[in-house]
Amino acid sequence: MHSRHNSLDTVNTVLVEDTEILECSGQCAKLPELEDVPWSLGDVESALQKEEELRAGTPSQEILAKLSALVSRALVRIAREAQRLSLRYAKCTKYEIQSAIKVVLSWTLSVNCITAALSALSLYNMSTGDKFSRGKSARCGLIFSVGKFFRWMVDSRVALRVHEHAAIYLTACMESLFREVFTRVLRSALVEKDNGIPKFTVESVEQAINNDSEIWGLLQPYQHLICGKNASGKWF
């Protein structure tokens, strides 16, 4: 099986535990940067505007691109963990995605993402009457495309067989994670208002993430980090 997009093969390159955690230069091994992600900046903007409380913030295209690049690292972490869990039976189901979410994300983030995934899957299962008139994303109540995530999982070789429920779980998880990250960035921006308007810059986004221990390690480019910082500001 060969991927149609070579950049997506990077998800599959570091499945086995790497013995060389530190490179010769003393720098930590980094996660692969995805060139193709299963969402667009328009999808991200629509997903953020879906929540009424997030409509107060109007992020620019530069901020959306920054959020997309950061959250794509969380996607790589979850996909790699799901890939490892799928080795036993050579298939990826919602249970592998759910376990990967629990392993990679913090308790608060994982609960919110799994709740969103359960809600999306419930809507999907209840909409059997109009399954030919609406797409999967509409039936799940999602903005992100379930089909794109399914294709991304297949191309990235997360498993030899990928169940559609796994794609729904991952789609709902990433959409919820975008809102979680943006909510925390928005809180920080509301503190630093400029004439009553939330202050949104790339620097403010990075500062908000650096001050949040739950998402700091998750969105870093280093392989060994999935947690935050200790009280002294150092890596665990």
Instruction: Grade residue 228 by pLDDT with cuts at 50, 70 and 90.
Output: low
229 forms beta bridges with 235
Phi-psi sector, 228: left (phi>0), alpha (psi -120 to 50), beta: beta
Instruction: Grade residue 27 by pLDDT with cuts at 50, 70 and 90.
Output: low
Alpha helices in the chain (DSSP H): 41-49, 61-85, 94-104, 107-126, 136-140, 146-155, 164-191, 202-210, 213-216
What pLDDT is recorded for position 59? 78
The arithmetic mean of pLDDT across residues 19-45, rounded, is 74
Integer Cα distance of 189 and 199 in angstroms: 5
Q: Is the pLDDT of residue 22 over 70?
A: no
What pLDDT is recorded for position 101? 95
**Radius of gyration, CA atoms only, the chain:** 18
What pLDDT is recorded for position 65? 92
How large a percentage of the chain has pLDDT more than 70? 75
Judge: domain 59-216, CATH 1.10.20.10.
yes
Q: Which two tokens stand for residue 218?
A: 């998750």
Confirm if 189 and 56 have CB atoms less than 8 A apart: no
pLDDT one-digit tens code per residue, 90-137: 999 999 999 999 999 999 999 999 999 999 999 999 987 776 678 899
Instruction: Grade residue 25 by pLDDT with cuts at 50, 70 and 90.
Output: very low
Integer Cα distance of 199 and 197 in angstroms: 6
- Residues 6+ positions from 15 with CB-CB distance below 8 Å: 80, 83, 84
- Residue bearing tokens 């991304």: 152
What pLDDT is recorded for position 21? 39
The residue among 22, 186, 226, 23 whose CA lies nearest residue 105 is 226
pLDDT one-digit tens code per residue, 149-188: 999 999 999 999 999 999 999 999 999 999 999 988 888 7
Integer Cα distance of 201 and 137 in angstroms: 31
Top-confidence residue, 75 or 58: 75
The arithmetic mean of pLDDT across residues 59-76, rounded, is 91
Judging by DSSP bridges, how do beta strands 197-198 and 161-162 pair with one another? unpaired
What pLDDT is recorded for position 82? 95
Query: Distance of CA 147 to CAs 150, 164, 168, 176, Å?
Result: 5, 9, 9, 17
Give domain limits for the chain: 59-216
Task: Look over the chain and give the mean of its residue pLDDT values, rounded to a whole number.
Answer: 82
Q: Is the pLDDT of residue 60 over 90?
A: no
Instruction: Grade residue 223 by pLDDT with cuts at 50, 70 and 90.
Output: confident
Handedness of CA 185, 190, 192, 197 (dihedral sign): positive
What pLDDT is recorded for position 163? 95
